[in-house]
Structure 1
Amino acid sequence: MQDIIEGFLKFQREVFPARSALFKRLASSQHPGVLFVTCSDSRVVPELLTQREPGDMFVIRNAGNIVPSYGPEPGGVSATVEYAVAVLGVRDIVICGHSDCGAMTAISSCMDLDKLPAVDAWLRHADAAKAVNAAHSHATPQARLNALVRDNVEAQLANIRTHPSVAVALSQGRLNLHGWVYDIEKGAIDALDGSTSPPQFVSLGEHPDVRAVRTRADDAARPERASQTG
């Protein structure tokens, strides 16, 4: 903990003074363009991966980068999604899974979660991914896990589309959805290309324009993606 405190003191002493103009602007308002949903895993740092400044992204982090489907008793994730889309007006949503995900490992290996009832209940929001994964054969346990990470990103993209604020924004052509998988060891990201049938994950470095669902008006005008209307 002392390292954390010393880090703050260094920030206060060295970093903050040099960035005081930025923090002064942020003191009274925020205008993030992206809602970034990712795992709580300590190895995944959204701002580091994307080289973004404070105020650039609205971030949700939880075990398994999960977005429960919208229901009669919305929780904290649902409230955050609603606020990001309906109030802040984010233009893009990223759901980002990652390699060696503990939540997906628990599902993939059928781990006994009897002593972790909260975790067990939470991971049921990934049941669709679990079912899809189980319907396919996998050469190795590692291959099964890697596929489940991707299946889960697709499942959470489907879940988030059940949220009224997201459905409205998609229908109005003012929102794009992105599905990413971050490889910790390689520092690479694969992104879901929703224009293919079936959708495929491709290298984001080689295909920087790829989207899972592209509906925003300024992007829909591009002929190569015009058919992808969500």
Structure 2
Amino acid sequence: MAEKLFHGVIHFKTEDFEKNKEFFQGLKEGQKPHTFYVGCSDSRIVPNLITKTLPGELFVVRNIANIIPPYDLNDGTYKCTASILEYAVKYLEVDNILVCGHSNCGGLKALFYPPEKLEKLPLVKKWLELIDDVKESVIHIEDEKLREWEVEQLNVVKQLDNLLTYPFVKERVDSGKLKLIGWYYIIETGDVYNYNFEKEEFELITKETEF
């Protein structure tokens, strides 16, 4: 399947790039994205497709289960997602941070695997420890489909809360310079639910939705 990637490059250069050459040339001097998108690495999720945005509009980080580790400058580990967040907020000065979860999330399913199933994935297992509290909040739900629905949405809320543990994020949110957005995307229907902070619930985005 590697050939598909190479053929894709050729098609992009001869078709898409050539038709939009002036647009791409306008990007050569730098970027000014309006939104920092935090999403899952799942191959079925395409941020620019869902949001209908062009190159240069989204600054993106993707990882298993769209997790943002809580702020901790002194734990001695490398900070991939945290450093990207810092760059987005303090250097690029984005207007929005969008956390997008999704249905049928394999990372969140793995929270409920028996321990032996994750023995071959020690790094994944360690990463998922960051959301042990999300797991505990739904562990009592016996219906797997209902539990999946709940944990996927609660995880988005958890990451929004984690964002506010970063002083530079909270400062800009409190001053009205930065907006936090939480979405839940349903793969098979294309529906996207937006988190209403006041009602503390997700609401389907429609033409009537107030932004």
Global fold match (TM > 0.5): yes
Partner of 2:99: helix, strand, or coil?
A: strand
Structure 2 residue 179 is matched with structure 1 residue 192? no
Measured in 2, the distance between the counterparts of 1:144 and 1:31 equals 39
Query: SS at 1:23's partner residue?
Result: helix
Please state whether the residue corresponding to 2:44 is helix, strand or coil: coil
Q: SS where residue 39 of structure 2 aligns?
A: strand
Offset, 1:129: 1.3
**Match for 1:131: what amino acid?**
E
Q: Of 113, 118, 123, which aligns to 1:113? A: 118
Partner SS for 2:24:
helix
CA distance in 1, matches of 2:82, 2:66: 13
Distance 1:153 1:126 in 2: 11
Establish whether residue 82 from structure 1 lines up as the match of residue 83 from structure 2.
no
Q: CA deviation at 1:209?
A: 2.9
Task: Give the total of aligned pairs.
Answer: 206
Gaps of 5+ in 1: 211-230
CA distance in structure 2 between the partners assigned to 1:191 and 1:109 by the alignment: 29
Q: How has the CA–CA distance of structure 1 residues 75 and 7 changed in structure 2, closer, same or farther, with 3 Å as cutoff?
A: same
Offset, 1:109: 4.2
Offset at residue 90 of structure 1 (A)? 0.7
* 1:125 positional shift: 1.3
Query: Equivalent pairs: percent with the same residue?
Result: 34
* Shift in CA distance, 81/105, structure 1 to aligned 2, threshold 3 Å: same
The unaligned stretches of length 5 or more in structure 2 are none
Output the CA distance in 1 between the equivalents of 2:191 and 2:51: 11
Q: Equivalent residue of 2:66, what SS?
A: coil
User: In the TM superposition, what are the counterparts of 1:68-147 in structure 2 within 5 Å?
Assistant: 68-71=69-72, 72=74, 73=76, 75-110=79-114, 112-134=117-139, 137-138=140-141, 140-147=143-150
User: What's the offset of the Cα at 1:124?
Assistant: 1.1
The 8 Å contact of residues 93 and 176 in structure 1, kept in 2 or not, is answered as yes
CA distance, structure 1, for counterparts of residue 114 and residue 182 of structure 2: 25
* Deviation digits for residues 25-55 of structure 1 (CA, Å, limit 9, x no counterpart): 1111111000110000000000011111000
